[in-house]
Amino acid sequence: MIRNIAGDKLAWLRDDEFARETVSGINPVSIERLRVFPPRSSLDPEIYGPLESALKEEHILGHLNGLSVSQVIIPNLLLSFCSH
CA–CA separation, 78 and 72 (whole Å): 6
Tens digit of each residue's pLDDT, the chain (84 residues): 455 556 677 776 777 777 777 777 756 666 778 888 888 888 899 998 999 888 888 888 888 888 888 888 887 777 776 655
Alpha carbons 37 and 47: distance in angstroms, whole number: 22
Count the neighbouring beta carbons within 10 Å of the beta carbon of residue 80.
Answer: 15
Distance CA 24, CA 19 (A): 8
CB–CB of 78/37 below 8 Å?
A: yes
Please tell me the distance from the alpha carbon of residue 38 to that of residue 76, in angstroms, as a whole number.
Answer: 15
Q: Is the model's pTM score more than 0.85? A: no
